[in-house]
Amino acid sequence: MGCGDGLFFPDLEAFGSVSGVESDERIVDPLGPYFAQIHLGLFDQSFQTDQYFDWIVMLDVLEHISEPVAALEKARNLLKPGGRMLLTVPAFNALWTRHDDLNHHVTRYTKKMMTLQAGQAGFKIDNQHYLYHWTFPAKLLVRLKEKISSADPSPAKLPARLPNAILKSLCRFEQATLTQLRPPFGSSLVVSLSSH
């Protein structure tokens, strides 16, 4: 769900056949290699399929949906028996910045909120933990800066190659060390779900 132009399809195809849903048709190339595997439209009642899935992956999508429990229920109903779901969402409304406004987020999540919504949708949470711990204080500083400044939000830009490589290494190091301790904070939440 929210597959864009199929960026992750080559990696996912190592595990089986892949199909996707993308609501923004502007980012899907009609001449792209995965166009026929992508449903263009919202993940709501307009999305109809007779397919059932072993895995559903929803990375940074649920926070855009005004009725998340209904979306989770729809996803659960598309899973085969024993099927699983993996999702990520931004964490903690205390970290809300203009970036969230710009990206039309409805909310940011906590473990408690995710547990409640997943349960209402008939899911069991197998595992959930926060990610990107070092960005938590960074996002708090951005929020403070935004309270002082009245500048309009602008789209995020990809850092130059060297800073991006450094930040990527920092994130990988953090995931191999601090994340293993499961600290109760981070700027994202990753969740693994299975149906009851």
For residue 72, the enclosing domain spans 52-195
If you average pLDDT over residues 11-16, what whole number do you get? 93
Largest distance between two CA atoms of the chain: 52
Cite the beta strand spans of the chain per DSSP E. 20-22, 38-40, 53-59, 79-90, 123-131, 188-195
Residue 4 falls within a domain, yes or no?
Answer: no
pLDDT band at residue 42 under the 50/70/90 scheme: confident
As for how many domains the chain has, the answer is 1
Examine the pLDDT at 132 and tell me if it is beyond 80. Answer: yes
Among candidate residues 174, 59, 191, 68, the one with its CA nearest the CA of residue 124: 191
CA angle 167, 168, 172 (to 5 degrees): 115
Residue 22 falls within a domain, yes or no?
Answer: no
CATH of the domain at 84: 3.40.50.150
Tens digits of per-residue pLDDT, 139-162? Answer: 999 999 998 987 776 677 778 899
Residue 13 falls within a domain, yes or no?
Answer: no
* The pLDDT of residue 40: 93
Counts for the chain of helices (H) and strands (E), in that order: 6, 6
Residue 24 falls within a domain, yes or no?
Answer: no
Q: What is the pTM of this model?
A: 0.91
Residue 37 falls within a domain, yes or no?
Answer: no
**Bridge partner residues of 130 (DSSP):** 189
Find the helix or strand (DSSP H, E) in which 116 lies.
helix 111-120
